[in-house]
């Protein structure tokens, strides 16, 4: 059984991209997280110690995403997944979605981004 803790629409300003202006000026990204975790104990005990703190998850994801500049969203999303799995033992898997609403694409589009899923080996 796997329950889910989620964070939707986390806004982060970062400098990811292959174009020079993306690295210099940066832009807004939107991150969605789904953490697969057994919540049976915390649903019985009502204790934060039996789950993971949303605040800590957001802080970890934000730091992993913006502390290094990457060319590819794939790598930036992977850094977030790696950091969450390394920090929170209770999380068995994670899905990270990164939206790049202002991607320098010569087209009209609603959304562009990546979705990656990682789990413990």
Catalytic residues: 100
Q: Do the Cβ atoms of 16 and 73 come closer than 8 Å?
A: yes
Residues 21-33 as b/e (b if ≥16 CB within 10 A, e otherwise) read: ebeeebbebbbbb
Q: Which backbone phi and psi does 86 adopt, to 5 degrees? A: -70, -30
Q: Do the Cβ atoms of 37 and 2 come closer than 8 Å?
A: yes
Q: Would you call 65 exposed, middle or buried from its count of C-beta atoms within 10 A (0-12, 13-18, 19+)? A: buried
């Amino acid at each position: 059984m796997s329950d889910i803790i989620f964070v939707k629409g986390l806004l982060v300003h970062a400098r990811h991209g292959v174009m020079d202006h993306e690295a210099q000026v940066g832009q807004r990204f939107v991150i969605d997280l789904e953490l697969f975790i057994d919540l049976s104990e915390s649903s019985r005990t009502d204790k934060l110690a039996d789950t993971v703190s949303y605040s800590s998850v957001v802080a970890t994801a934000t730091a992993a995403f913006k502390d290094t500049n990457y060319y590819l969203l794939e790598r930036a999303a992977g850094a977030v997944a790696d950091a969450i799995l390394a920090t929170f033992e209770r999380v068995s898997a994670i899905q990270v979605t990164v939206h790049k609403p202002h991607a320098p694409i010569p087209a009209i589009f609603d959304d562009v981004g990546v979705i990656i899923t990682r789990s413990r080996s």
